[in-house]
Amino acid sequence: MRGIALLCTATVVALPALAVSSTAQPDNAAKRPNAELHHPKGDETIQVFGHRGASGYRPEHTLASYELAARTGADYIEPDLVSTKDGVLVARHENEISGTTDVAEHPEFADRRTTKVIDGKEVTGWFTEDFTLAELKTLRATERLPELRQRNTVYDGRFEIPTFQEIIELKRELSHELGRRIGIAPEIKHPSYFRSVGLAIEPRVVHALNRNGLNHPHAEVAVQSFEVGNLRWLDRWLRVDLVQLVWSSGAPYDFVESGDPRDYADMVTPSGLREMSEYADWVAPVSTMILPRDEEGYLTEPTSLVSDAHEAGLRVVTYTVRAENAFLPADFRTSADDSAYGDVFGFLRALFGTGVDAVFADQPDIAHHARQEWESHSA
């Protein structure tokens, strides 16, 4: 069984239970057992996670982006979750929204622009937690990378900021229409920060999944976080997959805040991965932790991270595959034009060759086709 022991006492998280359904009880005994210590993938297909929807084609974290991801082959859609002032979960990559909405064009909100410290860094702009849901619904989404995705800007101003509940309802409708279960992979953003301002996200995620009948092992739900303590807390309340996100440098902010000296590099050692498997089902490293690049951006030898994770009983989903040259290793760039598409199929083949179980992709249709080609050649 997945354990609930904390990594160390410094990372204990006492999350409020105010939004957890009164009928829900932590039930670790009912959770499915963690994988045996071997490659857990078996004969299952490589999964495609639509990163922020189909963010290569539509402004990210909009219902239009999520819908397009599902229609073009994504197995999961991925909303990043932040909170409004009135405690409603909405989808934005960051709680600072000047880069993904038209908030700066709303004079009625000019006085909301401020500077805050988020995870130890000063950030200036407009923040979701300073707006009610009704106020956020007056804003419209904009393309976050207009210099690289100019075609997406044609959709600026057309889509609202969606709530988590609206995304769940869209997932349900599309699953019925398309005849296959569309998964959902919510990422909890800045959990320590939101807890510090009285807007803890985790209990609201538990409540939403319970309310929608999605808190069970076959629900196709995978909850993500870059922090650790909140995933360990969620392991007590959820029966869905948990995903530990890791980065190529730094440490989980709850470790930093508590004085825990470990960093992400420690977490992806063989012993760290075994410890991670006590509470998580997946590890999600950035692709450079699997396929490193040299100083000129070319791929070097793969690391052992994927095989080490499989030995620990964890599945591996890597992020983020983007088709534009700007994001690809030098091996797969086709020109000096950063916004032009490179050989993203080649990069996907390189990733699939490492044994990863899933990829996050901004253009999920490309990852879907690459998967089909890979599996047909591997059959």
Predicted confidence pLDDT, tens digits, the chain (379 residues) = 343 332 333 333 445 443 444 344 555 434 433 433 344 545 579 999 999 999 999 999 999 999 999 999 999 999 999 999 999 999 999 999 999 999 999 999 999 999 999 999 999 999 999 999 999 999 999 999 999 999 999 999 999 999 999 999 999 999 999 999 999 999 999 999 999 999 999 999 999 999 999 999 999 999 999 999 999 999 999 999 999 999 999 999 999 999 999 999 999 999 999 999 999 999 999 999 999 999 999 999 999 999 999 999 999 999 999 999 999 999 999 999 999 999 999 999 999 999 999 999 999 999 999 999 999 987 6
pTM attached to this predicted model: 0.90
Q: Are 332 and 344 in contact (CB under 8 A)?
A: yes
Distance CA 147, CA 164 (A): 29
Amino acid identity of residue 44, one-letter, is E
DSSP assignments along 182-208, one per residue: PEE--EE-SHHHHHHTT--SHHHHHHH
346 Cβ contact partners less than 8 Å away, ≥ 6 residues apart: 331, 332
pLDDT of residue 10: 35
Q: Are 244 and 281 in contact (CB under 8 A)?
A: no
Distance CA 197, CA 82 (A): 12
Distance CA 270, CA 275 (A): 9
Question: What DSSP state is assigned to residue 371?
Answer: H
Q: Which two tokens stand for residue 89?
A: 């979960």
pLDDT of residue 12: 35
